[in-house]
């Protein structure tokens, strides 16, 4: 038994039993993958996969339990490497951050700049996705740190931490009639077509809950994944925009932020997640400190 065989088994499951994709991921041949998995099964004395000819079609009952053990072995192997690097004073490597567009575009740039100055030998990879995709990337080990406003809290296999709260703001193009009514209410806003985030993004639940609680049914004319797109269409007159306040750090020319009658949409929370049971390199914990100074993520 060797680690390469265990990696083949793990990647077979991750890639829906498609050995062609497994071979591409691990830079080897499909026949080599098949042989290594079969050699492991012969050594263990059990079949891990159901086969149809040369194709893997499902996990066996024994394989289902074995895959869980394989995952833990490989994770602890990586933990051991990272643990040793702490004491070896290693300040180089790779750090994968998964974040939504809003977090990547508006909250991370200053942190990335500071981190890059402190750790010039660390390669940062920034992956963008929906909150659910980010949670999956963490739990599957494809990202070291995840940052989003939804889905991380309670996600399977993810240790989530609240970082900071924020609110939504309402934006309109210059000359919009709502500018004469400020401060505006939810009812004022609901009288116009709205442009805001898709259901999975950037505190959309807060927006929906506010209108529902007020008994209002908004005209959602356009939804999008990121604030830049929302602001573009608001500026072109498609509707009133509802965006995260951090997206208004540099307000686009031709847009105005409306004064509102209180905090209309409540507050949302940006969460940071790491995978349960993973020992991160020391520079990863430093990145977390830079992003959210009040958050203490203990090594697992």
- Residue 123's DSSP bridge partners are 94
Asked if the 93-299 domain carries CATH number 3.40.190.290, the reply is: yes
pLDDT tens-digit readout, 23-64: 887 788 888 888 888 888 888 888 888 888 878 888 888 888
Q: Is 227 helix (H, G, I), strand (E, B) or coil?
A: helix
What is the pLDDT averaged over residues 279-295? 88
Q: Name the fold adopted by 3-86.
A: Arc Repressor Mutant, subunit A (1.10.10)
102 compared with 297, residue with greater pLDDT: 102
Residue 136: enclosing H or E segment and its boundaries? helix 131-139
Strand partners, 240: 194
CA distance linking residue 23 with residue 28, whole number of Å: 5
Mind listing the pLDDT tens digit for each residue in 201-255?
878 889 999 999 999 999 999 999 889 999 999 999 999 999 999 998 777 788 9
Give strand ranges (E) for the chain.
Answer: 49-52, 55-59, 93-99, 122-128, 145-148, 158-166, 168-173, 193-197, 219-224, 240-244, 255-257, 268-275
**Over the stretch 244-265, which tens digit does the pLDDT of each residue have?**
999 987 777 889 999 998 889 9
CA distance 70 to 5: 10
Task: Note whether 246 and 140 are within 8 A (CB).
Answer: no
pLDDT band per the 50, 70, 90 thresholds, residue 171: very high
Domain coordinates of the chain in residue numbers? 3-86, 93-299
Say if residues 154 and 276 touch (Cβ distance below 8 Å).
no
- Residue that is written with structure tokens 């306040």 in the block: 245
Check residue 163 and give left, alpha or beta (phi > 0: left; psi -120 to 50: alpha). alpha
Confidence (pLDDT) at 83: 67
| Measured distance CA(38)–CA(180) in Å, rounded | 73
- Phi, psi for residue 22 in degrees, rounded to 5: -60, -45
Q: Does 87 have pLDDT greater than 60? A: no
């Amino acid at each position: 038994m060797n680690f390469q065989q265990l990696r083949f088994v793990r990647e077979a499951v991750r890639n829906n039993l498609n050995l062609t994709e497994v071979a591409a991921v691990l830079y080897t041949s499909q026949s080599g993958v098949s042989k290594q998995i079969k050699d492991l099964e012969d050594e263990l004395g059990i079949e891990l996969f159901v086969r149809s000819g040369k194709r893997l079609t499902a996990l066996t009952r024994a394989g289902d339990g074995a895959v869980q053990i394989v995952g833990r072995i490989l994770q602890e192997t990586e933990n051991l490497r990272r643990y040793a690097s702490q004491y070896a004073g290693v300040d180089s490597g790779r750090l994968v951050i998964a974040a939504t567009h809003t977090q990547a575009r508006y909250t991370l740039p200053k942190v990335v700049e500071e981190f890059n100055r402190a750790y010039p030998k660390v390669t940062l990879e920034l992956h963008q996705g929906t909150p659910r995709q980010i949670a999956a990337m963490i739990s599957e080990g494809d990202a070291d740190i995840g940052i989003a406003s939804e889905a991380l809290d309670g996600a399977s296999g993810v240790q989530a931490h609240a970082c900071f709260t924020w609110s939504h703001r309402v934006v309109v193009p210059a000359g919009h009639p709502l500018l004469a009514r400020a401060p505006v209410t939810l009812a004022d806003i609901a009288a116009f077509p709205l442009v805001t985030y898709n259901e999975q993004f950037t505190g959309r639940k807060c927006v929906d809950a506010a209108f529902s609680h007020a008994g209002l049914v908004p005209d959602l004319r356009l939804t999008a994944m990121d604030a830049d797109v929302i602001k573009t269409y608001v500026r072109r007159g498609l509707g009133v925009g509802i965006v995260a306040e951090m997206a208004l750090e540099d307000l686009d020319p031709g847009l105005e932020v409306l004064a509102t009658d209180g905090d209309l949409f409540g507050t949302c929370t940006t969460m940071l997640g790491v995978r349960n049971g993973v020992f991160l390199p020391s520079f990863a914990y430093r990145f977390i400190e830079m992003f959210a100074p009040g958050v203490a993520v203990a090594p697992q």
